[in-house]
Amino acid sequence: MVSKSNSSGGVVTESWTDPSCPVARTLDLVGDRWSLLVVRDAMDGARSFTDFRQRTGIARNILTDRLRRLVERGVLDRRTAASGRRQVYVLTPAGRDLFTVIVALRQWGERHAFTAGEPHSVLLDEHGVPLPPLTPLDSAGTPADADTTRVRKVG
């Protein structure tokens, strides 16, 4: 278990599914459906509770819980809006760092979750062009995949 301070000064204790695996730890932190959809929408400009609720259709109690957990885990930061009347949520550097994860999930979904010709949203770059497929590269710049890589476990 790991304990850390959250933004409100409390202590958050994490019980890791697999303490030495970065994939498992990431999923422990942000791996449920609603958390990733909140992060996706924050990347697309959602800031307020109402923004997230309207975009996702998530139940109020679940959204409240996910926003709280994402703030505690350092993915979102909660701030007072310029009007001073409500709270807004912005991505932290760690939250912004999930962009590649969201793009990878999107691209996987484009390939495997839609039938041929079925319409879906498209992520465009600043020139209005769809992003090219993400491709992990090895140290020589060659495409890498599950057959060409291995995990070195900690002892």
In this prediction, residues 139-149 reach a mean pLDDT of 97
Residues 50-77: tens digit of each pLDDT: 999 999 999 999 999 999 999 999 999 9
Stated pTM of the model: 0.85
Band (pLDDT 50/70/90 cuts) for residue 16 is confident
Residues 83-108: tens digit of each pLDDT: 999 999 999 999 999 999 999 999 99
- DSSP assignment string, the chain: -EEEE-TTS-EEEE--SSTT-HHHHHHHHH-SHHHHHHHHHHHTT--BHHHHHHHH---HHHHHHHHHHHHHTTSEEEEE-TTSSSEEEEE-HHHHTTHHHHHHHHHHHHHHSS-TT------B-TTS-BPPPP--B-TTS-B--TTT-------
Residue 6 pLDDT greater than 80, yes or no: no
pLDDT on residue 13 = 53
Band (pLDDT 50/70/90 cuts) for residue 109 is very high
In this prediction, residues 127-133 reach a mean pLDDT of 96
Q: Tell me which architecture the domain covering 2-98 has in CATH.
A: Orthogonal Bundle (1.10)
Residue 29 pLDDT greater than 50, yes or no: yes
